[in-house]
Every structure is written in C-alpha cells, then in structure tokens.
Amino acid sequence: MRFATADRRHREQRLPVLPPLHCSACPIREHTIYKRIIEVRPLAVESLRTTRVHYPKGHLLRAQGETDTNLFTLFSGWALRFRISRGGRRQILSFHLPGDLIGLEAIGASQGDFGVRALTEVALCKFESGSLISLLLQPGEAS
C-alpha cells in the first residue's frame, strides 16, 4: 500500500515548463522589451540567452545587495522585487509578470539595493546583462 501512494504522488508531479528553445516560438515575446528585435532579427536575442531555468515558489532569484551580472526574462509565474529596511521590514517595490525583464533596475549600480523572490513556480530565460543591454541600445532596435 505504501508503494502505491508513493507511485501515485510521483505520477501527479508536474514537470517544469521551460521557455521554448527558439524566441520566435515564444508565446510571451509580444510582452517583452525586445519584441521588435525578435520580429526583425529572431536569432539576435536567442543567441544571447545563456540558459533557461525553472525555480520553485519562494526561491530567491536575487539577494539584496548582490552584484549580479545577469538579467532574466520571466516566462511563467510571478515574482516580486523587494527591499529589507534597516529595521528588518520588507518593502515590496514591484511585481514581475511574464514578459518582464528582471534585474534591469540594478544596471549601473555598484550593488543592487533590492532582492527578487519567486511568488509562484517560475520559468525564466537568463541573459548576461552587458550583451543584452548592448543589443537593446542599438539605434532602432528596441521599441
């Protein structure tokens, strides 16, 4: 009996849904900051993606004070950007929904004064910030 219950639980577990391999096939591309780039040069953004990742609810994507050189596009799920005050209270700065670029706020800062935590299971595309920012800053690319 014990084995039957464990087997049923194993079958009920959902496999993580990762973003598609090709940006041109991504259902959220219309909601991203680089939508126009994908339409004109579909491989430009895709070639800069370092990996596709999946994290459970509650996972800390970025710790406050961390100097991270990565940006993430949220494919599925919700996340929140927060700051912990000197008194130890959490202040919610913003919510991230699918299509949002996470980490852009820290570009140019010596260290980020915020953290990002998954509110639900999340799937993300990970980019090295310098390459993606360079692409976005090219004249006529982003809109």
Tokens of 113: 């004064």
| DSSP state for residue 85 in the 8-state scheme | -
Residue 11 has pLDDT above 80, yes or no: no
In three-state secondary structure terms, 31 is helix
Segment 55-59 mean pLDDT: 96
pLDDT score at 130 = 81
Using CA atoms, how far apart are residues 21 and 46, in angstroms rounded to an integer? 8
pLDDT at 132: 84
For 104-123, what is each residue's pLDDT tens digit?
877 665 556 889 999 999 99
Question: What are the b/e assignments for 9-36, b being 16+ CB within 10 Å?
Answer: eeeeeeeeeebbeebeebebbeebbbee
Q: What is the pLDDT of residue 95?
A: 96
pLDDT at residue 71 greater than cutoff 80:
yes
